[in-house]
Structures are given as structure tokens and as C-alpha cells.
Amino acid sequence: MTLKTKYRTLLFVAIGSVPVVLLGISVAMSILYDKAFKMKNDGIPFHESYAYPVMLIAFVLALGMLAWLFSTSIHSLLSKITLLNKTIRELASNERIPDTLTIKSEDEIGQLSQSVNLLIERTTYRELELAQQQELQKELLQKLRHDIHTPLTAIRLQLFYLEDQLQGQPKLVESLHAQIQYITNLTNAFQLQSFDTGEQSYVMQEEVQLVPLLQMMIKKWQYLYRMQNITLHFQHDDLQATWLSNELWLQRLFDNVLQNTLKHAQASKLEVTIKDGQVVMCDDGIGFTTEDEHGGLGLKIIQDIAKTLNIEASLQSNKNGTTFYFTHQ
């Protein structure tokens, strides 16, 4: 029921209920007085008896009850609007992304809540994607700086020992120091812009909890999948499943599978499963071959990242769907 219909009905009920309640109380009190109390009061008419003010009090109580019922409905609407306002303000702030709203009705407020939930999911996806890219860039940049600074330090040390032999060429020594410092400054100001494949060799190994990682990734992709009417399922047989790998690159690996399924599989669902330490990602789409333009490129990226992480990646694909298997070696 729409809000317009709901509150129009409420208005008609309010208008109609007041005279009905008043008439009902009046008739009930009159009949009750005539049958039970009139003879005891020597035939005093109802409007002159003590029952009349009792009826008026009943009128006031009934009207108060009706007003309370109608105000409760208005208060419920205002509470929903207040919650929406609070959620949107939290979403607009830089503090945290609010939780999705619980949809309790299909009226305009419920539809607005669904729209706010989509906005929250989309913002969550973008925030997680941005954080992942920034962490990946930061890690690779730190490794690259280290590998550049190490030979620069050695060159500085060698130049220090050569200064005695180059005493007659102070400008040459000064120029060499300046060039070394220039390279150092360049590495400090260097920013990685993009990474198209997983062929980088700077990967730090760490223990990665698979369940929280995949839960976070499914939460990140939930919005885009819902927009394409694709259902995401996740199940596991071991909450403590762990790989010795790199969390950022695992995210990139699974992101490519999720992205390929979203864009090219034409699937209605994707099931992600952790069983016996193996990650399985299965969709019910149209399948693909490695000769496909998009499928081949996506598979190449997945294989490159898996190779970098020392993960065995295999797939089965036919007209009934595609299944990826990832096993840590």
C-alpha cells in the first residue's frame, strides 16, 4: 500500500470513527441507564442524571484513544524518515559507512530505503576497491624503493672511497652526488598508477585467513552483482582456512574471476566455496573458451597472478557454466 493510499484511508477512518464512537457511547450509556439505573433514580431523565457526565468523560477518553492510535501511525512514519536522514548523513560523512536498512514495507518509504541500501552497497564497493588499490600500490612502491635505494647506497659508499682519487675533479664528484640524490628524490616522489597483470615479483608472503577475505570481497561485489540480478552464495567447511600467500594479490586474483563472471558469463548465480583448503568459484552462465577475446585475456591475468602466488589454478567451462579451482601449492 502506498503512503498516499494509506494516509488517505487513515484520514477517512479518523473522520468516520469520531461520530461513530460518540454515537455508540451515547446509545450504549443511554440504554444501560434506562435498564439498570433509571428506576433506582426515581425516573430522572438520562441527561439530568450522573450518567451524563460519565458519558462525557467516556467521550473524552475515546477521543484520546483515537488520537493516540493515529499519532502512533504518524510517529512511525516520522521515525522511518528520521532513520533515513541519519543514515544518509552518516553515508555523507567521512567517519564510517552505515549498515544497510531493514525493509519492513513496500510503500514509498520502503522503496526509498531500498535505494539508500543500493547507495550504501555501491559506496562500500568503491571504498573497498579504492583501499585495495591503495594498499597494493603502497606495498609495491615500498618494495621498489627498497630495491632502488640499496644500489644507490652502495654507489654512495663507493664514491666516498673514490673521492681521494678524484681530488682534482671536485665538480665531477659533486655532479655524481647530485645525480644520486636526484634518483633518490625521484623514487621518493614516484607513484604507481596502474597494474594490468600479476607479473610483478614483489610479493610478501603472510598468513591469509580465507573466510574473512572472501566475505569482505563478496560484500564489495554484492552491489554490482545485484544490479545484474546475479546471486552470490558463499559457504565454507573450515572457518580457520589459511593460505601462506599475500592478501592484496589474492584479492586481485579473485576480483578478476568476479569481474569476468559479472561481465561475460551471463549467469544468474555464482557460488564461492572453501572445501578442504581449496577455493571453488562456480557460475551457471554460458561458459567460454580460451580463444574468446575476453575469456582468454581474463584467464591470462588470472593465471599470471596465480603463478606469482604459487597457486594452482584450473577451470572447467561448458554451456552450463564455468568453475574455477584454486589450490595453494
State the architecture of 206-328 in CATH terms.
2-Layer Sandwich (3.30)
Q: What is the pLDDT of residues 12-21, one digit of tens each?
A: 777 777 788 7
pLDDT at 192: 42
CB 202 within 8 A of CB 140: yes
Residue scoring higher pLDDT (185 or 11): 11
Q: What is the mean pLDDT of the chain?
A: 79
Distant-in-sequence contacts of 142-147, Cβ < 8 A, 24+ apart:
143/202, 143/204, 144/187, 144/190, 144/192, 144/202, 145/187, 145/188, 145/190, 147/202
Residue 191 has a pLDDT of 47
Report which of 303, 299, 291 is spatially closest to residue 322, judged by C-alpha positions. Answer: 299
Pairwise CA distance, residues 121 & 187, whole Å: 37
pLDDT at 197: 44
pLDDT value of residue 146: 66
pLDDT, residue 174, reads 74
Residue 110: the pLDDT is 83
Task: Give the pLDDT band (50/70/90) at residue 196.
Answer: very low
Percentage, residues of the chain above pLDDT 70:
81
Cα distance between residue 206 and residue 198, in whole Å: 17
Coil vs helix vs strand at 257 = helix
Gap between the Cα atoms of 288 and 317, Å rounded? 6
Tell whether the model's pLDDT for residue 195 goes beyond 60. Answer: no
Over its C-alpha atoms, the chain yields an Rg (Å, rounded) of: 36
- Integer angstrom CA distances of residue 213 from 65, 129, 255, 286: 54, 13, 11, 28
C-alpha to C-alpha distance for 148 and 156, rounded to whole angstroms: 13
Q: What's the pLDDT at 278? A: 94
- 194 band by pLDDT with thresholds 50, 70 and 90: very low
Q: What is the pLDDT of residues 93-113, one digit of tens each?
A: 766 778 888 888 777 888 888
For residue 281, the surrounding DSSP H or E stretch is strand 278-283
pLDDT given for residue 49 in this prediction: 66
Above 70 in pLDDT, residue 92? yes
Residue 291 has pLDDT above 70, yes or no: no
Q: Where are the domains of the chain?
A: 3-96, 130-189, 206-328
Model confidence pLDDT, tens digit, residues 275-288: 999 999 999 999 87
pLDDT at 45 over 70: no
**How many helical (H) and strand (E) elements, i.e. helices and strands, does the chain have?**
7, 7
